Chains A and B, each alone.
Chain A
Amino acid sequence: MDSSFVRRQARHGWVAIDFTELWRYRELLYFQAIRDIKVRYKQTFLGALWAILQPVMTMIVFSFFFGKLAKVPSDGIPYPVFAFCALLPWQLFAYALTYSSNSLVDNANVLSKVYFPRLILPIAAVMAGLVDFLIAFFVLAGMMFYYGIFPGWALITLPLFTLLAIAAALSVGFWLSALNVKYRDIRYTLPFLSQLWLFITPVAYSSSLVPEKWKAVYGINPMVGVVEGFRWALLGKSTLPWSMLIVSVIATALLLVGGLLYFRRMEKSFADIV
């Protein structure tokens, strides 16, 4: 009997995730992510500087209007650092929201001509976003040094919050990329969705402004837990709003598993309708 045997037949309903196959295609994942990064900054004047420019400009605008003029309280942390620290995971998420969600539609010709695990595409898009995230991280380190903010022991939890951010990014990527294949409205909703989502995430303001009794509900937005977690791990001043964080983690887990299942369910029809 041959070691590699497959049966192609109709699969009905929910389909399990084939992790061994994903692992076998890990190099494609890597190349796809590298390609996304290379292509993104090819023939641009500023190149990778864009990765820094975008969050820095946003930070400056936020600092001026929200920090200086509106005097939004920032939990005793200098407003620019306060905002930039939140913009870091936010950019990753917003990137996923756009690129991961469009990843299947943008690769329609490949989808209908070559077989590979379709999950590669939205995952690769999130991975490509991680590069921007890392570059911007150095800017944050510089800013913290400038303002004399040094993280405490909580810093060791940062990888966990980064994972949470990645999970949140992946989950929207799975949901929206699969939906986008079927419903092209999604594409037009994305800019609007990312704008709206920014407002319901404590990037420009602090979640401490949210009344206590609403905090658990507020935490349903996965990015609430991520952003507050980042501030807690890196800037260390505020206390960690546990209830909100737990709700966020649960929400992310549900969204991620649901997204994966939905993606797998829709996957078989991608090549037919994309």
Chain B
Amino acid sequence: MSEIAVNVEGLSKQYRIGERNSYPMFREALIKAVSAPFKKLRFKLAGKQVSKTDLIWALKDVSFKVDKGEIVGIIGRNGAGKSTLLKILSGITEPTVGYADIYGRIGSLLEVGTGFHMELTGRENIFMNGALLGMRRHEIKKKFDEIVDFSEVEAFLDTPVKRYSSGMYMRLAFAVAAHLEPEIMLVDEVLAVGDAVFQKKCLGKMGNIAKQGRTVLFVSHNMAAVRSLCTQAYSLDAGKILYHGATHDVVDHYLKSVKSPKRLKHYTLDQRQDRLGDGSAKIVSLKIEDENGDEIINSSSRLKLTIGYRSEKPILHPQFSATIYDFSDIGLISLHSERTNDLPEVLPPEGQVTCVTEPLYITPGRCFINLALLKGGMRADYIEHAAYFDVEAHDIYGSGKLPERNWVVCLRKYTWSTVGNKSE
């Protein structure tokens, strides 16, 4: 029987909705402390229970075992509970119910560059970050040259990292983390850094870690990486294990499930305050879906935007514009009705317009939409970052491999072949 590295039993984590964003004020706490006994009494008298509706399970009854030396992939949509799971395993947060037993020294890499300080030099940050990740000073000293070598920033070691390019910064941060030597390593999405060459190097490093017989739990959206690194995988959805088994099966199953329809994504925008324009006409709603009405937008979806608007009077010479940006605010696609010229000259005071695109063919990742409504060339309304949507991976090449967003945006179908092959 092989030795167990991680044993998770009935692990569950409950969050209060909005707990992360709203800070209770001291005053409210005082009022609560005074009024709570009365409230309780009233509830008791009325035979009611305290409302449980604002509680959600980020993780619900998750159990699994990982053997020593195994590389396990954890995949799932945003909000499926992957990160919560790693946070519990690394000790950052506590589970509500259940437990996780960990046999061996654990190290986690949940975000590259956490704890880096802009004012400190590269050298200082290596020591600082190493200590933060649980390395001892003599370990860091021993690994120092290796880290510097890996990160390719020797020349800038004594420069504050605020003067680094983002690529250099990421390389150094990954280098420190990659030289941790825990028996069990938790990794969350770290491969999404740097250029393609460095990503390949990172992937190679991860592979080496695996070969040294260490246990790795690897959370990623990068299906190609999961496929190439992991032997076993778990697919999480809504806090539960949906599927588990050999990596290939789990990835296939996940990619299929991603296509299944979910609730519609509908944005109400009339309450948004951060808008520009003369206000004579207003964008009030936006629905994002694919042409078939699925909320899941994948790399080859035809995007369908439905914009609701309202105005006092009929709108003369209306123009609608939706611009899609990527995470770093680089414009990807502009959908402007002036160019296609397919909206009527006059629109009724209230209504909806819709725009359907060709297949997007863009890499998986988050996209933001800016919306504008123009009236006779004058800007009536403009909302920056009116909404966002996540483009999910779609296996358009049938190989389970897609390039990453931080490398390229556009996808195209293509074929490679040999030239002058007579056998055709």
Contact = CB atoms under 8 A, between A and B. Distances in A.
Interface of A: 2, 4-11, 25, 27-28, 30-32, 35, 38-39, 42-43, 109-116, 182-186, 268-269, 271-273
B194 interface: no
Contact of A8 (B91, B115, B120): B91
Please name the 4 residue pairs, one residue from A and one from B, whose CB atoms are nearest each other, closest first. Answer: A9-B99, A115-B91, A185-B26, A183-B26
B90 interface: yes
B156 to A, nearest CB: 17
B102 A35 contact: no
A183 B99 contact: no
Contacts of B119: 38-39, 42-43
A42 B159 CA distance: 13
A113 B92 contact: yes
B24 A182 contact: yes
A27 B136 contact: yes
Interface string B168-200: 000000000000000100000000000000000
Contact of B94 (A5, A8, A31): A8
Nearest to A39: B119
Contacts of B92: 111-115, 271
Interface in B77-105: 87-105
B252 interface: no
B93 A268 contact: yes
Contacts of A5: 101-104
Contacts of A111: 92
Contact of A39 (B95, B98, B108, B120): B120
A115 B108 contact: yes
Nearest to A179: B26
Given A112-B92, A114-B115, A271-B93, A28 B132 contact: yes
A272 B15 contact: yes
A8 B95 contact: yes
26 contacts: A4-B105, A6-B91, A8-B88, A8-B101, A10-B94, A10-B96, A25-B131, A32-B128, A38-B120, A42-B160, A43-B119, A110-B114, A113-B110, A113-B115, A114-B90, A114-B133, A115-B90, A115-B91, A115-B92, A116-B134, A182-B23, A183-B29, A185-B27, A268-B94, A271-B93, A272-B20
A253 B249 CA distance: 60
A8 B131 contact: no
A5 B94 CA distance: 16
Contacts of A7: 99-102
B373 to A, nearest CB: 37
A9 B100 contact: yes
A9 B95 contact: yes
Contacts of B134: 25, 116
B132 A8 contact: no
B256 interface: no
A181 to B, nearest CB: 9
Nearest to A184: B23
A112 B128 CA distance: 17
Contacts of B136: 27
B117 interface: yes
B124 interface: yes
B140 to A, nearest CB: 9
Contact of A110 (B19, B95, B115): B115
B111 interface: yes
Contacts, number: 117
A27 B137 contact: yes
A264 B183 CA distance: 28
A28 B20 CA distance: 27
Interface in B50-98: 87-98
B98 to A, nearest CB: 7
Interface in B129-168: 131-134, 136-137, 160
B31 interface: no
B1 interface: no
Contacts of B183: 4
B325 interface: no
A183 B22 CA distance: 10
Nearest to B101: A7
B23 A116 contact: no
Contacts of A25: 131, 134
B127 interface: yes
Contacts of A182: 23-24, 29
B327 to A, nearest CB: 18
Contacts of A114: 90, 92, 108, 110, 114-115, 132-133
A268 B88 CA distance: 11
Greatest chain B CB density within 10 A among A11, A115, A268 is at: A115
B93 A6 contact: no
A269 to B, nearest CB: 8
B25 interface: yes
A183 B25 contact: yes
A6 B132 contact: no
Contacts of A8: 88-89, 91, 94-95, 99-102
Contacts of B99: 7-9
Nearest to B12: A10
A214 B193 CA distance: 64
A110 B132 contact: yes
Contacts of A115: 90-92, 108
A180 to B, nearest CB: 10
A141 B88 CA distance: 51
Contacts of A268: 93-94
Nearest to B139: A27
A271 B111 CA distance: 14
A227 B160 CA distance: 40
A77 B237 CA distance: 73
Given A4-B104, A31-B128, A115-B90, A9 B98 contact: yes
A137 to B, nearest CB: 27
A11 B96 CA distance: 9
A33 to B, nearest CB: 11
Contacts of B94: 8-11, 268-269
B272 to A, nearest CB: 25
Nearest to B100: A8
A149 B387 CA distance: 71
B224 to A, nearest CB: 25
Interface in B346-366: none
Nearest to B103: A2
A31 B127 contact: yes
